[in-house]
Amino acid sequence: MALNDFDLVLFGGSGDLAMRKLLPAMYSRDVCNDLPPTARIICVGRHEWSQDEFLHSVEKNSKPHLKAVDQAAWAKFIQRIVYVSLNATDASTYAPLVEALRDDASLTRVYYLATPPHLFAKICDNLAATGLATANSRVVLEKPLGRDLASAKQINAEVGKVFSESQIFRIDHYLGKETVQNLLALRFGNILFEPLWRREWISDVQITIAEKIGVGNRMGYYDTSGALRDMLQNHLLQLLCIVAMEPPTSIAPDAVRDAKLQVLRSLKRFTPTTLAQNIVRGQYRAGHVDGAAVPSYRDEPDAPAQSRTETFVAIKAEIDTWRWAGVPFYLRTGKRMHDRLAEIVVRFKPIPHSIFNQPNNSFQPNSLVIRLQPDEGLRMNLMAKTPGDGMRLKQAELELDFKEQFKAPRMEAYERLLLDVLRGQLTLFMRGDELEAAWDWVEPILNHWEHEDSMPIPYTSGTWGPAASSALIGRDGLQWREEA
Give the active site residue among 56, 65, 235, 288: 235
Amino acid at 293: A
Taking the complex as a whole, the smallest distance from the CB of residue 294 to ligand BG6 amounts, in Å, to 15
Which CB sits closer to ligand BG6, 39 or 180? Answer: 180
β-strand partners of 463? 337
**Strands 312-317 vs 329-334: parallel, antiparallel or unpaired:** antiparallel
Non-local CB neighbours of 126 within 8 Å, separated by 6+ positions = 88, 89, 90, 91, 94
Q: Are 168 and 159 in contact (CB under 8 A)?
A: yes
Q: Are 190 and 368 in contact (CB under 8 A)?
A: no
What does the DSSP 8-state code read for residue 225? T
Taking the complex as a whole, the smallest distance from the CB of residue 390 to ligand BG6 amounts, in Å, to 45
Q: Total residues at the site for ligand BG6 (CB under 6 A)?
A: 5
Taking the complex as a whole, the smallest distance from the CB of residue 342 to ligand BG6 amounts, in Å, to 6
Cα distance from N-terminal residue to C-terminal residue, the chain: 45
Q: 3-state class of 125 per DSSP?
A: helix
Active site residue 235: yes
**Residues within window 229-248 making contact with ligand BG6, judged by CB under 6 A:** 230
Taking the complex as a whole, the smallest distance from the CB of residue 383 to ligand BG6 amounts, in Å, to 33
Cα separation of 84 and 300, whole Å? 35
Taking the complex as a whole, the smallest distance from the CB of residue 253 to ligand BG6 amounts, in Å, to 22
Taking the complex as a whole, the smallest distance from the CB of residue 417 to ligand BG6 amounts, in Å, to 12
Binding flags for ligand BG6, 202-221, as an x/- string (CB under 6 A): ---------x----------
Which CB sits closer to ligand BG6, 87 or 217? Answer: 217
CA torsion, ordered 251, 255, 257, 263, to nearest 10 deg: -110
Which CB sits closer to ligand BG6, 230 or 420? Answer: 230
Cα separation of 178 and 377, whole Å? 10
Cα separation of 122 and 90, whole Å? 8
Q: Is 436 in the site for ligand BG6 (CB under 6 A)?
A: no
β-strand partners of 442? none
Which CB sits closer to ligand BG6, 39 or 113? Answer: 113
Which CB sits closer to ligand BG6, 342 or 411? Answer: 342
Nearest to 142 by CA among 101, 181, 112: 112
Cα separation of 296 and 306, whole Å? 12
Which CB sits closer to ligand BG6, 213 or 252? Answer: 213
Cα separation of 334 and 338, whole Å? 10
Binding flags for ligand BG6, 276-295, as an x/- string (CB under 6 A): --------------------
Which CB sits closer to ligand BG6, 253 or 334? Answer: 334
**Residues within window 304-343 making contact with ligand BG6, judged by CB under 6 A:** 342
Taking the complex as a whole, the smallest distance from the CB of residue 77 to ligand BG6 amounts, in Å, to 23
Cα separation of 220 and 6, whole Å? 34
User: Which residue, judged by CB position, is nearest to ligand BG6 in the bound state?
Assistant: 230
**Strands 108-113 vs 6-11: parallel, antiparallel or unpaired:** parallel
β strands within 46-198, DSSP E: 81-85, 108-113, 137-141, 168-170
Taking the complex as a whole, the smallest distance from the CB of residue 159 to ligand BG6 amounts, in Å, to 20
Which CB sits closer to ligand BG6, 83 or 414? Answer: 414
Amino acid at 446: L
Q: How far is CA 445 from CA 228, 271, 272, 278, in A?
A: 9, 9, 8, 11
**Residues within window 128-187 making contact with ligand BG6, judged by CB under 6 A:** 143
Binding flags for ligand BG6, 369-408, as an x/- string (CB under 6 A): ----x-----------------------------------
Cα separation of 11 and 89, whole Å? 11
Nearest to 465 by CA among 477, 441, 482, 478: 482
Residues that bind ligand BG6 (CB under 6 A): 143, 211, 230, 342, 373
**Catalytic positions, written as ranges:** 235
